[in-house]
Every structure is written in structure tokens, then in C-alpha cells.
Structure 1
């Protein structure tokens, strides 16, 4: 049997623990080490799991990023190429092995990734008597290795790689290569073309996405007025929770392109939209601090200068009330009898939210239909089946915070 060329340290971030519950890999990293334990290469990408992302508070992956990422089937060839001929390593190998088996299994591909096929640095820590807890953080602290951005696939893989290097130097017997690990390294994989996979990384902390207006091209003026009702209707839905998700921004750009709107026309529509809201705010002859704050929020979301709010409020002071049924200041409102659906890992328990909703006359259902008022999501860019169905049915997807605020107002 050929000796391995070195090590491939792998780490995955997943939507949950159990593959039997249809949990998927959402980020994967592979770090190469030479036989002496020196890092020689690294690779990482988010993975579109085609479902909600689960405990986002732990792994920190945004649906706005994951939705742009390749699916596992698109990167399987690249991954095989990076693992072939190397001893596969992970901290808590059994967990990563379970998810790798499940992902390749969905593609009809057998793998060598059984419990004894990978070198587990967690188990090695026990053999080396490191006197630490089982977690990667504890093991690295006991070995006096660097702090990392834990729970990101690349930093966790780097940390496990450094831990392996520590063991190779100080306790080589604890990480001695076994026959099972060499068999896995020399596994006869089916031919998979690596392809030109475009990796997608997490958005850097503090990064500000360009406003969706920046993606609208300048167009030549036209004769006649464009049909804008469809754009305004989508804007209504997008602003229900007083934020515009990446998915909603994409949809607004797409419909503006479909309608042939150029950037100046969209800016004019945004001003008109803000003016309608200001007119509604003056309907009772008083603009409250809450209404003024709401108008400033909308102006910011629509890339309008905040100062324009006071100008428009002054101009609309004496305007008549907007006819019933048009846009209202305050965003999402709920009425007794409305049906709502929840998706994602909420900050509060779903049973608690459902009980509060029921007390206010709101029915929380498990499936989306055209009769659903809104889908409340832990992440408004959710990739869940419910979110996909909501977008197909034209049901607005709003944030958990906006839904709970509207629920509290109704209660």
C-alpha cells in the first residue's frame, strides 16, 4: 500500500447535528499538512445546503452568503481531489465523517469515511494525556496554541492542523498512522471532474453590501410612463419588516430590469413612496417621534438622504389623508384571523411564539399557502423549503423581530 503524501485536515459547519434529520453541510474547509505537520495549502467554501441554516447564532453563516455558494454536488470533485492520497484528519472525526458519508451518499458515491478511517485529534488528545477538555478550544489552549475565530470551518481546520503538528512533535505515538487510515487515503474514488468551482466565503465582519440601487444600470429615457405598480407592490412587501434582505434586493433589481426602469426612475419612485408615507403620517395632524423614526428608516433603506424626510414632511403637512388600503407608516400590521408560518432557529421557542399568537387571534400554521399573511424567518434570506414556497406564492418573508413587534402591537 502506498504511503500517504501527508494529511488533509477537514472541518465542516452544519445546519444541525443529525444527518437523519436532513441536516446538511453549510461550510467546509480542507487544510493540507506535509508529513512533518507543516501547513502547505488550505481551501474553504460555504455550501448551499438547500434548507434553513439552523443554529446561526453558533456558526454565524448568513443565508445571504450561503445562497450564492455552490451545492455539494458541484464541489464534490474538488473535495475528492483534495482528500485523495492523504490521511484525513478532523477534531471529532466521527461527526465530520457522518456528514461526509451522508453528502456523498446523496450522490450515490460510496466513501471510506468510517469511524476508524480518519485521524481524530480529539481522541489523540486523550492518548497523549493532554489533560484538557474534549473541545477543540480546550485542546488548543492546553497545547498553548493560538486563539482563533472558533466555529468557522477554516479557522477550526487550521487549529486542528496545528494541534496535529503539536502531537507529531511531542507525542507522535498518539497520532501514528493506521492501516485503516492508509486504506482510506488510497481509496479508489470514481472519476469526478473537479470543474471550475467558484468558492464563496463568509462576508467579512463590518462589510457593508452595496445598495441594490448600485446594481441598476443607467438606461436611455423613454417615451411615455413606465408601468410601476409591480415594483411598488414588491417594495411594499420588502419593507414590511423595515429591512431589505439580500434576496429582496435581488428581486427589486430583477423587476426593475424587467420593467425597463433606469436608476433615476427608481429613485423617483422611492421619493414618491416616501411622500405617500409622509402624507399618511400627517393624517391625524400630528407626526409622532415613532412615525418620524419610521420615515427615516425607510429613507435610509431606499438610499435617500435622511434630510429629505423633514423637507417632505414640511411639504405634506396640509395634505389630505391617503385613501384606505394604501401604504401605512409602521410596516407590518397583523389582524385577528391572519395565518402565519415560522421558519428557522428562532431566538424564542416556537411553541411560546405560537401560544402568544393564538392568544391574539393569529393562527400559526406549518405550511405556506397563498392565504398565509407572512412567513416569519430567523433569517429573511432563508433557504428553507417554507421560504422558497413563500416566494413562489408571493407571501412576504419578514424578520422574527418585525413579526414579534407586530404581534405585540396586536396583543
Structure 2
């Protein structure tokens, strides 16, 4: 007699080696009944508590997984979704290895001894579509199954579920499926305690990404009345803002740091908005310093305005030559490109970030350029690339500034500036 059906599983991971330090970053499960019809879908991002590896493949940002559950948190619900069913995956040995490794880390050391009934749609392709390729894309193409946005767990799992349905429909007999379904009913899965229901802990990619939107950080700053912050506090806020925008990206950690600092300095949201405008005007002055505004500089001004939450009218005014611009309240910039403000009450920002010859620099994560290339250039410019974080390190360069790698976490503990590759390129290029 046929069992309850199949559970199609797909993982997105930080790499290929579950026995080492690679971890699951996204999981999707699709239930399919014994006739090949989809009966349910679930997906969630997973916080791997380390860097995300090849982000250009799975497209997941560190900001997306900061509030996502750990694998240990989803494990009880995942086991419920898989239990009593035949596990199906494309290249099932890969997903099985990660599943067993993650279960072992989640408090089930006997996971390696589990005998999980499973089928592999990649292996089954030899029987159902002989001569076709073995990749998921090749197999789906043979049946005209859509695989747009591949390397997203829900997309790959749904495509694999449809592929399974085509195999079932094309099979001449049902012994393969029924025998496997019956064996799955006898499999013993671990019993893991659940503290929450599935809908409360699983976080799909869009939901988590939306919750980590940094563009609304100004709304989280208190509107203090009366306000106690003065010129010195304004400079401190400017200095952190300048540091956060070095790479023209505002990470979740940086947005949180700006909110905390505004609260600690007792400066209000309206004051922060004014400081943002003056900071933007300082960037505009730098861009116009040579009397020419290039397309790259316009793109840069647009990026800064967007990060600061400024409306498009500020960019429109900024691209006009200074003599024609109306209502520009420019903040002066010193010879090093440091942001300042008008009047003696608010002198230029002290301690604007820059690299000096001899500074120690650490790189972490997968870069566009090879680590060797970056180290060579840094050394040629007089800086010292280092493999590990110490309090003497001046800068950490991460493929993703919100990275949860050990290096990035330690850098935040020490208050070390973190930028992405674009930020490093800007620092090496110099002000202006």
C-alpha cells in the first residue's frame, strides 16, 4: 500500500563540504502525493552563523539572514515535513549529506546512522530521459519545465517536484514508487522538541529581506524634544556616517550603529535629516571640485542620496553647475575630502576615515578579485594585508559588510571599519 507521498528537498549552501565548515543557508520542501501531484510547499532562509560563501550563486545577502532562524530552530519542523515520506532531491547524495550533518549539529548525534529512504531525480534521468544531460536544467528542459531563478531553494525544489511528477506519469508500472513509499513508512526519524509552530519560525526570502530594509533607519531614530546634542555630537554622527558610506552601501549593522549613536548622543531625527543633507552637499562639492560632473559621479551622488533617504530633487539640484544651483547649503570639505559644516560652531568632521601607509588590512569572504591580487596591490601601496583580526587592524574588507564570518564578528567587537570591495577601491583611489 502506498505511503503518504514524497518530500522533495532542496538546500542552498555556503559551499560543497558539509563535513567541514559549510552550512545550509536556505531550505525548501515540496510535498508530492503518490500520483505526482504537489500538495504543499514550505521554504525558509537559514542563518548559518558564518559567512555565506558564494553569494553570486545563491543570491542571498547577509542582511537577509540576520533575523532568519538557525538550522537547529527549523530542524523539528523539517523532520516533521520529511518523516514518513520518500525524500527526493536532484543529486540527492548532496542534500542528504547536508541534512545529516546539520541534524547532527542540531542535537541529534545519531543522525549519521539514519537510513533515509530516498530517490534521486538526477540518477533516475538515465531511465526516463536517456541521452539527456544530468543537470536539473537539462532534465527540466526535456519536459519543458520552467527553471527561472535557479539556485533558489523553492525554485529548484518546485522544478524537481514537477520532474518527479513527469517520471511518475511516464512510468509503465508503479512498483518503484510504491515499494519506496512503503519503506519510507518504516523509517525511524529523530524526535526533536518544538518550541514554536512552523509558521512562526520559517522565514521565506522576501519576508526576511523586507524586514531588514536599511532605508528606513531614520524612522527608528527618536524625535527628541528637547534635544541635548550639540556641534560636537553632530561631528561624531557625521564621522560615523562618513565611515558607513565609504563603500556606498549601508549594511544592517551600520544602520543599527547609526540609530544607536543618535540615541547615545541625544540628537533627534530632524537633526539627523539636516546632517544628512549637509553631508550630501559636501559630497556634491567634492564631485564638482574640478568643474566637471561625470556620469560615474552622478551615479555616485544618486547612490548617496538614496542611502540617506533624500528625495530625487536633491540629486536634480546637485547635477546643475554650482552657479545655477538654487538653495544649496554646502558643507565645506577639507583637503582630505573630510566632510564639514558651515560656521565656526560646526568645524569639519574630525577623524574622517582614510588609510595611511603601514595600516593593517584583512580580507574575508569570496571576492571578485583574487585574494592574491588584492594582497599584491595593498603591499605595493604600502599597506600590510594580514590573515587574522587583531586590535591593530585598521580595515576589514568583506564581500558582504553584514558578513557573519568570524573575522567580521571580531572586527565589530573591536570597532574596526568594515567595507566591501567597492569601498576598498574608493579608499585606494583617494578623496574626490
Structures share fold, TM-score greater than 0.5: yes
1:197-222 per-position Cα deviation (integer Å, ceiling 9, x unaligned)? 43223249x98946234532553421
TM-score, normalised on structure 1? 0.86
**TM-superposed deviation, 1:356:** 2.0
SS state at 1:162 partner:
helix
**TM-superposed deviation, 1:246:** 2.8
**TM-superposed deviation, 1:18:** 0.7
**TM-superposed deviation, 1:336:** 2.4
Residue 344 of structure 1: aligned partner = 365
Work out the CA distance in 1 between the residues paired with 2:103 and 2:30: 20
Q: Please point out which of 263, 266, 269 is paired with 2:269.
A: 263
Does residue 100 in structure 1 map to residue 99 in structure 2? Answer: yes
Structure 1 residues 191 and 312, CA, compared in 2 at 3 Å: closer, same or farther?
A: same
Does residue 211 in structure 1 map to residue 215 in structure 2? Answer: yes
Does residue 222 in structure 1 map to residue 226 in structure 2? Answer: yes
Q: Within 5 Å, which residues of 2 pair with 1:7-406?
A: 7-109=6-108, 110-111=110-111, 117-171=117-171, 175-176=176-177, 178=179, 182-183=183-184, 186-193=187-194, 195-196=196-197, 197-203=200-206, 209=213, 211-216=215-220, 219-222=223-226, 224-225=228-229, 227-274=233-280, 289=293, 293=298, 297-304=303-310, 305-307=314-316, 309=318, 316=330, 322=334, 326-327=338-339, 333-406=354-427
Are the counterparts in 2 of residues 29 and 44 from structure 1 also a CA contact under 8 Å? yes
Are the counterparts in 2 of residues 280 and 322 from structure 1 also a CA contact under 8 Å? no
Are the counterparts in 2 of residues 332 and 403 from structure 1 also a CA contact under 8 Å? no
Work out the CA distance in 2 between the residues paired with 1:185 and 1:242: 55
Structure 1 residue runs without a partner (length 5+): none
User: Relative to structure 2, which stretch is displaced further, 399-408 or 138-147?
Assistant: 399-408
Structure 1 residues 257 and 212, CA, compared in 2 at 3 Å: closer, same or farther?
A: farther
Are the counterparts in 1 of residues 69 and 201 from structure 2 also a CA contact under 8 Å? yes
Are the counterparts in 2 of residues 75 and 194 from structure 1 also a CA contact under 8 Å? no
Are the counterparts in 2 of residues 72 and 103 from structure 1 also a CA contact under 8 Å? yes
User: Relative to structure 2, which stretch is displaced further, 333-342 or 105-114?
Assistant: 105-114
Are the counterparts in 2 of residues 131 and 142 from structure 1 also a CA contact under 8 Å? no
Structure 2 residue runs without a partner (length 5+): 341-348
**TM-superposed deviation, 1:181:** 7.8
Work out the CA distance in 1 between the residues paired with 2:169 and 2:287: 70
1:53-102 per-position Cα deviation (integer Å, ceiling 9, x unaligned)? 11111111111102221111111111111111111111111000110111
Structure 1 residues 168 and 360, CA, compared in 2 at 3 Å: closer, same or farther?
A: same
Are the counterparts in 1 of residues 85 and 181 from structure 2 also a CA contact under 8 Å? no
**TM-superposed deviation, 1:395:** 1.1
Structure 1 residues 148 and 182, CA, compared in 2 at 3 Å: closer, same or farther?
A: farther
Are the counterparts in 2 of residues 73 and 107 from structure 1 also a CA contact under 8 Å? yes
SS state at 2:201 partner:
coil
1:162-183 per-position Cα deviation (integer Å, ceiling 9, x unaligned)? 1111111112569535569825
Work out the CA distance in 1 between the residues paired with 2:117 and 2:390: 46
Task: Give the number of aligned pairs.
Answer: 403
